[in-house]
Structure 1
């Protein structure tokens, strides 16, 4: 190995400080920047990385992990015996059924496939049920196996090319619903399998809306894999936007909405990179697209709407680590206009991140309680929410510790 090569952070034995330095360097962040975001001095960061001081307490470790975009805590701590993935939740009880349906070879035998219109109507009802349910993964987890099998069969038994394309469009959006269930589950390979099948079906359908939705979800999957895949997320988003551009002058609300959702995804990825101007520039474009939608329109898959732009502004500010701005956006957002329980809960989590970033720990915990009330399954599977709760269980303020402990119990973090 060359003398100037960067060592592998996963090779043992490497101390916490060394791992932190390697991961910080890979992120392209200087010590003063990291120190400022942690509320510490550059000399403290230097001493920690050199091993002059030991590994800090859990709240600080978790803050470092989020800052460096560490997905598995053991990548930072070096403890490979019990990996803790910060952004993967516990497996849902219906995961095996959904996995089996995705993996099955649906040949159909003598069973007649339902028409594409029939599957599309069931799919629409499934999206509606998801938005209304606090236990939305349980609801769609029950519906998905049958939807997947019937949508696959509809494509297989199509008699004409038009029928096959219509079936592929429905199948693609069934896979889109599947991604909402599989996300944050302990089966990353299944997530990618669903995303790829959704994209293939969308391309076969030649339906602009289906292609846009598949690209929107694939871009998120790339981005959430880590900074090394941000370019892939951007490439997917830009190509989809370029494809949709020709349809927009005469587009209906749902196609316009998926274009707006993709514009916001470009801003989200820019914010994750720390690119302030680009992030807010894309938010402005998405906001202008939202203004073109019919009043009250709410896209059932992406939640894109005029109402959601305030929530999106909170996310951009939080990802840019702008504490004061993120709180200002949280106060300005109209939560009453978000009709989806899981999307409202997700917004509450983003608000909690904003308040914690601004040093308002008690308000952050209170906001997470609101998220739990809106949709317990959303917060249970959200890594950011779990991180905040875990940090506050070690707070110096007894009331904060007690409040966090109750939430930790509700989220299953204290389960043996």
Structure 2
């Protein structure tokens, strides 16, 4: 039995409805249903522990041996301790002169550029983040007026990079702190782009946690807040408006709501068609090439693997300039093939994702789960599956 099936059985044995269980663990009934039916990945261990306490069973009784392997081999990047230390520091001294905002802006720009260009993007930005976190925090203390507002916007930007570094690592405490601090910094900045970007990151975390109601609430509030700015909006703000609609589409699809998902996608597609040719939003990757990638993800989340596979083309994947984003798209296409039990194509795509950006696939829960599933797949492909398991970190 899967984790979801075990939760359902134990919940029913306890005489508890999905609504009651959801309320006791701070989730929605739809989230409980999605876990029980396998629509989403098993919850994190902290959430499983909550569920076990409510059902009055040991947490081990909720997890299969196979899922325990995937959960227990979560990857942690070597740069995590240095990033954690930087986040735990609160510079209060004004003895040293602050770094100029222009210099910080240039370093942030470099960090985003190498993040998209590097196959090992976590390693690259992991080296840059500690000093960037420190210098942006010092700038906020040192500057006043409009310069201080700009420093707040820069800190929110740096914390967005930090969230991308922390994603899918065993650092949930840091991740939530980063989300909160980024939203506060963006609000202090008064910059609508900074606010939109920080909200986009917050939506990502709430969605991954299965808190779809909060994700959609934040999404709608920020879309509404951007409304007055749209008549005079520049390209970057318009792109963020479109990216937020794409985010809403993703959340709706994750929760199994096809109609709202595609309506939000249509609005995002309308926005992207008005952006300059070749434009690529550096934080969200919102762009023309990525809109098809979003569509593939929606079909996969809606369990329409055959439709996802038909949408995907090699040319479209190659048009995505960001290596991590391209690798993530290849993983999504692999998920589509995996839904159709097309094992050889699945392995081929995951290998392409690995060669595109190894650190993307190593930290991707879906890729790791698929790699584990393939170990017990067709005998003729087990050697390839074993090689893939090594690449994603399931075996040494």
- State the TM bucket, normalised to the shorter chain: 0.7 to 0.9
Partner secondary structure for residue 308 of structure 1: helix
Task: Report the counterpart of residue 390 of structure 1 in structure 2.
Answer: 372
The number of residue pairs the alignment matches comes to 369
Q: How does 1:1-80 map to 2 (within 5 A)?
A: 18-19=9-10, 25=18, 66-72=38-44, 77-78=61-62
Moved more, 203-212 or 352-361: 352-361
Shift of 1:188: 0.3
Matched, 1:369 2:356: no
CA offsets per residue over residues 359-414 of structure 1, 9 Å max, x none? Answer: 2121011000000000000000000000100001011x112211110011112211
Q: Say whether 1:113 aligns with 2:98.
A: yes
Q: Secondary structure at the match of 2:313?
A: helix
> 1:15–1:363: structure 2 CA closer, same or farther, 3 Å change rule?
closer
- Residue number in structure 1 paired with 2:394: 413
Instruction: Indicate the residue corresponding to 2:107 in structure 1.
Output: 122
> Gaps (5+ residues) in structure 1?
1-8, 35-62
Shift of 1:87: 10
The DSSP-based 3-state class of the residue aligned with 1:255 is helix
Residues 101 and 313 from structure 1, CA distance in 2 versus in 1: closer, same or farther, beyond 3 angstroms?
A: same
- TM-superposed deviation, 1:19: 4.2
TM-score, normalised relative to structure 2? 0.86
In the TM superposition, residue 110 of structure 1 has moved relative to its aligned partner by 2.0
Q: CA deviation at 1:67?
A: 2.6
* 8 Å contact kept, 1:199–1:214: yes
Answer yes or no: is the 8 Å Cα contact 1:279–1:316 preserved in 2.
yes
- Listed one character per residue, the Cα deviations across residues 274-321 of structure 1 (whole Å, up to 9, x for unaligned) are 111111111110001111111100011100011110100000000000
Are residues 21 and 379 of structure 1, via their aligned partners in 2, closer, same or farther at CA, if it must alter by over 3 Å?
farther
User: Contact conserved, 2:73 with 2:394, CA < 8 A, in 1?
Assistant: no
> Are residue 244 (structure 1) and residue 226 (structure 2) matched?
yes
Deviation at 1:336, TM superposition (A): 1.8
- What stretches of structure 2 of length at least 5 have no aligned partner? 23-27, 49-58
Structure 1 residue 403 and structure 2 residue 384: aligned? yes
Over aligned residues, Cα RMSD in angstroms?
2.8
CA distance in 2, matches of 1:150, 1:108: 12
* Structure 2 CA distance for partners of 1:163 and 1:267, relative to 1, 3 Å: same
Q: 1:357 to 1:20 in 2, by over 3 A?
A: farther
Report 1:57-206 matches (<5 A). Answer: 66-72=38-44, 77-78=61-62, 86=71, 89-158=74-143, 160-206=144-190
Cα distance between partner residues in 2 of 1:225 and 1:88: 19
Cα distance, 1:324 vs. partner?
1.6
Q: Determine which structure has the larger helix proportion and give its number.
A: 2
Q: Is the 8 A contact 1:218 1:233 kept in 2?
A: yes
**1:283-298 equivalent positions in 2, closer than 5 A:** 283-298=265-280
The Cα offsets for residues 319-359 of structure 1, whole Å up to 9 and x where unpaired, read as 00012211112238711210000000000000000111122
Residue 217 of structure 2 aligns with which residue? 235
The residue that corresponds to 2:53 in the other structure is none
Verify the 8 A CA contact 1:88 1:382 in the aligned structure 2: no
User: What is the match of residue 212 of structure 1?
Assistant: 196
> Cα deviation per residue 1:129-170 (whole Å; 9 max; x = unaligned)?
011111100000000000000000111000x31111011111
2:316 is matched with 334
Native 8 Å contact 1:317 1:326 kept in 2: yes
SS at match of 1:70: coil
Kindly indicate whether the alpha-carbon contact (under 8 Å) linking 2:70 and 2:369 is maintained by their aligned counterparts in 1: no
| Distance verdict in 2 for CA 1:352–1:310, change over 3 Å | same
Q: For 2:217 and 2:114, locate their aligned partners in 1 and report how far apart those are by CA, in whole Å.
A: 33
1:193-251, Cα deviation, whole Å (9 max, x unpaired) = 0010000000000001000000000011111111xx11100010001101111112221
